[in-house]
Amino acid sequence: GNSVTQMEGPVTLSEEAFLTINCTYTATGYPSLFWYVQYPGEGLQLLLKATKADDKGSNKGFEATYRKETTSFHLEKGSVQVSDSAVYFCALRMKTSYDKVIFGPGTSLSVIP
């Protein structure tokens, strides 16, 4: 079945460090890919998305590129801030009606000053 795998956390970085959170997927067909973020005590927010191969999603300094050949959608940010501390979920959704979002297990990021 369709699934998402993410790098294990927690990840701890110093402020201004470079961030990469790896994400790979397994899907029959070509899904849309997403990164959602969950700040402490809050709900899920869409961070960025890409709907087809080679698309790059970006938002708030975060980027991820849809790589069909490696079935990956790694999240990157050049310089993290303390306010980026959150849990990041990679997710996919097949492009058929009614279909569910399938989430990865989440990666917890802590950024220390």
Which residues are at the interface with other proteins (CB under 8 A)?
Answer: 32, 34, 36, 42-46, 49, 89, 93, 95-106
Identity (one letter) of the amino acid at 20? T
Cβ(46)–Cβ(38) below 8 Å: no
User: Cβ 34 to other proteins, closest distance in Å?
Assistant: 7
Q: In angstroms, rounded to a whole number, what is the distance separating the alpha carbons of residues 22 and 24?
A: 7
User: Cβ 61 to other proteins, closest distance in Å?
Assistant: 19
Q: Give burial (CB, 10 Å; 0-12/13-18/19+) of 90.
A: buried
- Closer residue to other proteins, CB minimum distance, 13 or 44: 44
- Closer residue to other proteins, CB minimum distance, 3 or 81: 3
User: Cβ 17 to other proteins, closest distance in Å?
Assistant: 25
DSSP 8-class letter at 37: E
